[in-house]
């Protein structure tokens, strides 16, 4: 169970001093500009490069073998997963168009749509060729990193997929690269969407003023932390050894669950620091900023201290105290960001896609 909920968030927001709230409003336009230029744009560009490397690795392996496996594919897949983890909190803008987000990362998947749709892909394709273009017309579950993970590792229902693994892996990898390249291009300097964020106004279809624009950008931090707490950690780690469900973890087939967790929190921490939010909060509520930065440091150190593989560690009674502390820190970060940091920036918490689910 989460330790702190909405009431606690409002209580925390109330601790921001009246003096700090009376200060001049933050430079919202500057915050948006810094978040885009220093965090969002370079991280999407890096992810596009990693996805290109993944496509090349799969293609290169399939030129000389019938299976899309091998150390070069493993390294490239791990690099793509880590790069995705550092931007997966950005659930707004171009990545939400054309179902790109879910097509890249279809997870959680409690009903195993990935396995079921992979098994039915041959029939779904019909007379269409197996390539990146035709894959875009299929279920998002068969386009994603978790789907490619099953094919390159031979895990899950991969053995039951009628399509040959190399052409299938090549099609998925190429489509993933296309989607990430399109997303990165849509964030490039001069592209349409960053200009909508930077130039709000009455004629802007999305943002009427700079406060609305920065609210969109800041919400990615709060919703990203909430996703990690409520969707990534709690259902998988559980409240006890008995309720732990390691088989539900993302990227368990490739053994990348822990690297994905670490990179996800590292991405959120970097977004808070590099995106300018830390400096803006520190000017108005330094105690809030200090707590947030300290929580991130403690969380990273605790994850690093967890020993052994992820599936073993979450059912190891000796490791449960560390996992409980990770969950507690994630929950407290949600509260700090939704409460104190949001109030310090003069923003309301607002609604996000995970509330009420």
What is d(CA 275, CA 26) in angstroms, rounded to the nearest whole number? 14
Mark which of 188, 208, 238 sits at the end of a domain.
Answer: 188
What is d(CA 30, CA 51) in angstroms, rounded to the nearest whole number? 30
Cβ(3)–Cβ(331) under 8 Å?
yes
- Domain assignment of residue 353, yes or no: no
What was the pLDDT predicted at 157?
76
132, 311, 312 from 308: Cα distances, Å:
37, 8, 7
Residue 155: give its domain's CATH number. 1.20.1420.20
What is d(CA 60, CA 51) in angstroms, rounded to the nearest whole number? 14
Identify the burial level of 159 via C-beta atoms within 10 angstroms of its C-beta, where 0-12 means exposed, 13-18 middle and 19 or more buried: exposed
Identify whether residues 96 and 116 lie together within a single domain. yes
Identify whether residues 295 and 201 lie together within a single domain. yes
Omega cis (within 30) before 108? yes
Alpha carbon 18 to chain centroid, angstroms: 35
What was the pLDDT predicted at 165?
97
What was the pLDDT predicted at 159?
79
What was the pLDDT predicted at 6?
37
Cβ(214)–Cβ(347) under 8 Å?
yes
Count of structural domains within the chain: 2
Per-residue pLDDT of the chain (357 residues; tens, 9 = 90+): 443 333 344 344 444 433 344 467 899 999 999 999 999 999 999 999 999 999 999 999 999 999 999 999 999 999 999 999 999 999 999 999 999 999 999 999 999 999 999 999 999 999 999 999 999 999 999 999 999 999 999 987 787 899 999 999 999 999 999 999 999 999 999 999 999 999 999 999 999 999 999 999 999 999 999 999 999 999 999 999 999 999 999 999 999 999 999 999 999 999 999 999 999 999 999 999 999 999 999 999 999 999 999 999 999 999 999 999 999 999 999 999 999 999 999 997 654 555 544
Identify whether residues 62 and 203 lie together within a single domain. no
What was the pLDDT predicted at 349?
62
Domain around 336: 6-33+193-344
Identify whether residues 319 and 198 lie together within a single domain. yes
262, 336, 337 from 289: Cα distances, Å:
21, 9, 9
The answer for 233, left when phi > 0, alpha when psi is -120 to 50, beta otherwise, is: alpha
What is d(CA 266, CA 257) in angstroms, rounded to the nearest whole number? 14
Mark which of 188, 223, 240 sits at the end of a domain.
Answer: 188
Mark which of 134, 161, 188 sits at the end of a domain.
Answer: 188
Does the pTM surpass 0.85? The reply is yes
């Amino acid at each position: 169970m989460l330790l702190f909920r909405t009431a606690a968030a409002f209580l925390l927001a109330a601790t921001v001093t009246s003096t700090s709230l009376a200060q001049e409003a933050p430079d919202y336009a500057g915050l948006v500009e810094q978040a885009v230029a220093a965090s969002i744009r370079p991280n999407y560009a890096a992810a596009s490069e990693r996805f290109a490397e993944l496509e090349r690795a799969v293609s290169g392996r399939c030129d000389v073998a019938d299976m899309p496996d091998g150390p070069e594919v493993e390294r490239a897949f791990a690099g793509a997963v880590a790069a995705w983890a550092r931007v997966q909190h950005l659930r707004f803008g171009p990545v939400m168009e054309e179902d790109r987000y879910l097509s890249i990362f279809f997870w959680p998947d409690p009903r195993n749509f990935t396995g079921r749709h992979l098994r039915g892909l041959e029939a779904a394709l019909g007379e269409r060729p197996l390539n990146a273009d035709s894959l875009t017309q299929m279920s998002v579950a068969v386009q994603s990193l978790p789907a490619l993970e099953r094919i390159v590792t031979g895990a899950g229902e991969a053995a039951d997929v009628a399509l040959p693994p190399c052409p299938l892996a090549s099609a998925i990898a190429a489509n993933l690269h296309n989607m990430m390249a399109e997303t990165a291009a849509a964030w490039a300097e001069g592209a349409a969407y960053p200009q909508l964020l930077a130039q709000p106004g009455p004629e802007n279809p999305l943002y009427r003023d700079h406060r609305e624009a920065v609210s969109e950008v800041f919400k990615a931090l709060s919703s990203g932390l909430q996703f990690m707490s409520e969707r990534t950690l709690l259902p998988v780690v559980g409240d006890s050894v008995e309720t732990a469900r390691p088989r539900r973890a993302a990227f368990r087939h490739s053994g990348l669950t822990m690297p994905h967790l670490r990179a996800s929190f590292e991405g959120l921490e970097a977004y808070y620091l590099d995106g300018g939010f830390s400096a803006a909060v520190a000017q108005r509520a330094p105690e809030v900023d200090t707590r947030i930065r300290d929580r991130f440091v403690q969380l990273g150190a605790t994850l690093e201290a967890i020993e052994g593989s992820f599936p073993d560690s979450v059912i190891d009674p000796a490791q449960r105290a560390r996992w409980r502390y990770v969950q507690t820190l994630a929950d407290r970060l949600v509260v700090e960001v939704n409460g104190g940091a949001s109030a310090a920036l003069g923003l309301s918490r607002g609604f996000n896609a995970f509330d009420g689910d």
